[in-house]
A and B are shown apart, each in its own frame.
Chain A
Amino acid sequence: MTYSFHINGHPVEIGSAAMTGLLEVLRDELGLRGAKPGCGEGRCGACTVLVDDVPVASCLYPVALAQSRHVRTVEGLAAPDGPLTPVQDALLEHGGVQCGACIPGVVMTLTALLERTLRPTPDQICDALVGNLCRCTGYHKIVEAAVAVGRGEER
């Protein structure tokens, strides 16, 4: 059985076993190592990707359920030599990135939030980030970065 879906706009066919986590497929079959294996149980958000524009924990997402859907990962946001997205720029400018382990997940969560909510409040940003653990930054800089993107300071 193969599963067909889109990754970052490109169609893919995956022959992995049906209940393989999407995270494993992304990293091991497709070489997309942006999403990180953190806890492996839905608690840390390091593996966050968007499925049909909605953040999901890819470690718990069976590849079989991705059939016919559109998956977006951090690799799809900016080309290797292209400009970063406003969210990525803002995180760098506001000091929201330290070790970086959580950042691909944070970027995907914030990207989805800012696509739905043009000017999110700090409360809305914190609510959106509840599932993204960061052991370094203390979150304030990340929230400031997202507020700045909402204000259009990063476009």
Chain B
Amino acid sequence: MTSAAPTSTAAPEVRAVSSLEEASQVLAELGPDGAALAGGTWIMRRPLRSEPWHRVYVPVAGLPGLRELDVRPTSSQAQLGAGLTHTELVAELADGTSVPAALAGLAAAARLSAFPQVRNVATLGGNIAAARVGFRQADLVPALLAAGARLQLGYPDGRADRPVADFLGEAGRPAGEILAGVAVPTPPDRFAGFGRLTVRGAGEYAVVNVAVSVDVDPDGTVRSARVAVGALEPVPRLIPEAAAVLVGRPLDGTSAREAGSAAAAAVDARDDRLAPGWYRRAVLPALLERACAQATSTTGPAWTATDEGEPR
């Protein structure tokens, strides 16, 4: 993968490889002429975005290790392979009883994204990588940011671990860098939620998406928090100003709305075809309240909503 403009106008080639290392090497050699191919649901729309094809695509989603999945209630972190589809994430994470509460936001994001025909094909790795190249509405990304997830990256000469925000924030990635998987910390006192608003009731890109995760003391006080927002700025990101509002008090509708207002003040929300920027900021407090309500809904502390309406 690379940020340099691809050059080819001829029909692209797909080059199969058998390991992550080989994929990294092939892509490193190809430089701007090559790209990883996962579900293809973003790449196949390149012509619609008037983007030229790369000369060579290297399928990665089925490579050994990229379909790994380890979600145990007793373990301190979940391991999710980058080749898992949104549908597989829902199937594995949405069972509220045996899945750590820290993963509830990611499960909701995977469930609410796109359409079944797309969720059955689009992958975790493709969602994260697409967020770097223009897909600011990628639903899994705010959930991963709020969850404090770390990306496992493969290179021709080895591997490295990076926080999601670093991967998203740096301009230009080295050719041959492949997302192998994601490690999500799952401490027992962490609770997570996700909210999104779409123009139609279901499907469609989010006008705003927001994710939260909180670490809660036994007396119900929020010890630490992370809030992430997507679809507003070119790349989804953590909003520390919003997280700070949640810390040192119990999580409830009032604190969630205040945090949402802090988030709205901190973001640079763009206008686009779906909605103007002011509208996106205006709905943020209500969406964050919903996300926080979800975070507390199963095993978390008791929830008190604001008067402005019961969150869904």
Contact = CB atoms under 8 A, between A and B. Distances in A.
A62 interface: yes
Interface stretch (A4-12, A36-44, A75-83, A92-100): A36-44
B12 interface: yes
A57 interface: yes
A45 interface: yes
Contact of A62 (B14, B114, B115): B14
Given A21-B44, A41-B45, A57 B117 contact: yes
A111 interface: no
Nearest to B200: A130
- The CB with the most chain A CB atoms within 10 A, among B11, B44, B117, B120, is that of B117
Given A42-B118, A109-B116, A19 B41 contact: no
B115 A56 contact: no
Contacts of A57: 41, 115, 117-118, 121
Contacts of B292: none
A21 B121 CA distance: 14
Contacts of A41: 45, 48
B11 A60 contact: no
A128 B116 contact: yes
Contacts of A18: 11-14, 57
A151 to B, nearest CB: 23
A65 interface: yes
Contact of B117 (A1, A17, A40, A45): A45
Contacts of B14: 1, 18-19, 62, 64
B53 A19 contact: yes
Nearest to A58: B117
Given A18-B14, A61-B121, A55 B116 contact: yes
Nearest to B54: A19
A89 B196 CA distance: 38
Interface in B28-52: 37, 39-41, 43-45, 48
B118 A19 contact: no
Contact of B120 (A40, A55, A65): A55
Nearest to A55: B117
Contacts, number: 83
B53 A54 contact: no
A17 B11 contact: yes
Given A17-B11, A19-B57, A41-B45, A60 B203 contact: no
Interface in A16-45: 17-19, 21, 40-43, 45
A48 interface: yes
A19 B40 CA distance: 9
A17 B56 CA distance: 12
A140 to B, nearest CB: 15
Nearest to B62: A65
A152 B117 CA distance: 26
A41 B40 CA distance: 12
B17 interface: no
B115 A131 contact: yes
The 3 A-B residue pairs with the shortest CB-CB distance in the complex, in nearest-first order: A131-B115, A18-B14, A64-B14
Interface of B: 11-14, 37, 39-41, 43-45, 48, 53, 57, 59, 87, 114-118, 120-121, 202-203
22 contacts: A17-B11, A18-B12, A18-B57, A19-B12, A19-B43, A41-B48, A42-B41, A42-B115, A42-B117, A45-B117, A54-B87, A55-B120, A56-B117, A60-B40, A61-B40, A62-B43, A64-B14, A64-B59, A65-B37, A127-B116, A128-B116, A130-B115
Interface of A: 1, 17-19, 21, 40-43, 45, 48, 54-57, 59-62, 64-65, 109, 127-128, 130-131
Given A18-B13, A45-B115, A131-B114, 17 more contacts: A1-B14, A21-B44, A41-B48, A42-B41, A42-B115, A42-B117, A42-B118, A55-B117, A55-B120, A57-B118, A57-B121, A60-B40, A61-B40, A64-B14, A65-B40, A130-B115, A130-B116
